[in-house]
A and B are shown apart, each in its own frame.
Chain A
């Protein structure tokens, strides 16, 4: 049930990331068209592209964390007995989860602090730059917990889309 939920979330994240990536490309190309064809460089295009790419990063990163498979096995940990490898793998996911939690907390703090200010080129709050940090943090937290649960149960998290 939980795994199914995470798999759906992960798939949704990738869809959003792909849409975002294409949107970023279109923004930059629109800027070129504006400059050479319409003789009117759109000032919002660059700012919007820079904002969307933060969301692409957040979603792509979260899926990257979920699909990473066995992390830690590329280090000296492989020399340890299997039981310890297992424990360290859980520890690594827990550490990543802690960072995810800190991202949510730190992102929330900055987003709310800067929400009243407006961005110079776009009609959105300045604090919106930190929303992707909150989203990425929450997703990383979720997927790390999924990994820990799977490890404890002796299962493997399967990537949904490769």
Chain B
């Protein structure tokens, strides 16, 4: 290993251990490396601004903003009512409606964090009131919320297409389509786990099926909110709009629905949503820019090639390589922020995965699911923290009964990793 690379790796690790926010850890270690290489420090900022000048980059603040509007705009209640009318009457019914509700809201907001905040604050107290254990309520919600990461409105998908742009051509549309079937698989696995635990714990059955008319009514009430997914998918699929343009229309639609149709968005909440969107935008976009500098050094010092060679020394079987990549992604995802994991890991692991025959879109979805799982795992499990805070229990208590839910999601991930058709069938069909 040469000196500059040692500086890069050591300074980055040290800064992260100290607890420096990840964007600054990346920035400072890039600066340290450039100083070690004897080059002018200003180069870092040239790479940074360069990394921020891609048009599809604009979709990120739009998706974040639309998600925040949905979060504060009272759409969650309507989705809960719909999900409840649909599956509320089966054993562990609230758990099942929670899974369905989180999945639908994930499609609207595209963010696990917004999902757990919106659905969790409605569902977790409700479940506790109906006699469900708090750990069950939290685990069901936090795991179901993860599906938001691979939904059409997910800004993390845009981040992945940006990170992959130098290595392979991955279109935003292709990735969105690739995520749909895995999202269904994740939801089914979540439903299975929620039902299995409900049966084992002997949760009671509440009420009867209200009839399809009620289901339809509840669906009608939730429909205007759900229409945002139609706008995005329809807009891009028909070729009428680019992903960025669709995202900007999604914001306008979210405003229209929450202000005019539902009349639930107060001025105070609108300002909150604006403020949150701007802060998140600032942090995420800095991360993308600065990762461009970091990625430049990783490419310069051949980190992907070295990682690939190292992995090939262990095995040349594709399934072993994919397993190793999964484990590494999962471990990194547990202590790095989602955007950071995507930006750092894509240039390192995607070339080797592609070398062993994995499609870039499939890699993207696998990466996103791994990152999502990391959101539910200490030490830095943001989604889990939020869920626990709402449920009023400790992370430790939740971790004791997490196994069935983890198992379900691991199963979903293995299916995505080893059966390419799950991700590639839909994009190829609609090509």
Contacts and interface: CB of A to CB of B under 8 A. Distances in A.
A14 B278 contact: yes
A103 B281 contact: no
B18 A75 contact: yes
B400 interface: no
A64 B42 contact: no
Interface stretch (B140-148, B241-249, B390-398): B241-249
Contacts of A25: 62, 65, 248, 251-252
Interface in A24-45: 24-25, 28-29, 31-32
A154 B277 CA distance: 30
A74 interface: yes
A58 B48 contact: no
Contacts of A58: 282
A82 interface: no
A42 B42 CA distance: 34
A17 B282 contact: yes
A50 B55 contact: yes
Interface string A55-84: 011111111110110011111110000000
A162 B275 contact: yes
A134 to B, nearest CB: 10
Interface stretch (B19-27, B75-83, B117-125, B294-302): B19-27
B57 A53 contact: yes
A63 B276 CA distance: 10
A109 interface: yes
A121 interface: no
B44 interface: yes
A7 interface: no
Given A24-B58, A31-B245, A96 B45 contact: no
A129 B380 contact: no
A24 B380 CA distance: 32
Interface string B224-258: 00000000000000000100110011011000000
Contacts of B280: 60, 64
Interface residues of A, number: 54
Contacts of B275: 14, 18, 63, 161-162
A133 interface: yes
Nearest to B52: A54
Given A56-B61, A88-B18, A110-B45, A64 B31 contact: no
B18 A64 contact: no
Interface of A: 14, 17-18, 21, 24-25, 28-29, 31-32, 46, 49-50, 53-54, 56-65, 67-68, 71-77, 88, 91-92, 95-96, 98-99, 102-103, 105-107, 109-110, 129-130, 133, 136, 161-162
Interface of B: 15-21, 24, 27-28, 31, 41-42, 44-46, 48-49, 52-53, 55, 57-58, 61-62, 65, 241, 244-245, 248-249, 251-252, 271-272, 274-283, 285-286, 289, 379-380
22 contacts: A17-B278, A18-B274, A18-B275, A21-B61, A21-B65, A21-B274, A21-B278, A50-B58, A53-B52, A57-B52, A57-B286, A58-B282, A60-B278, A60-B280, A63-B279, A64-B279, A64-B283, A71-B21, A75-B19, A95-B24, A99-B31, A162-B276
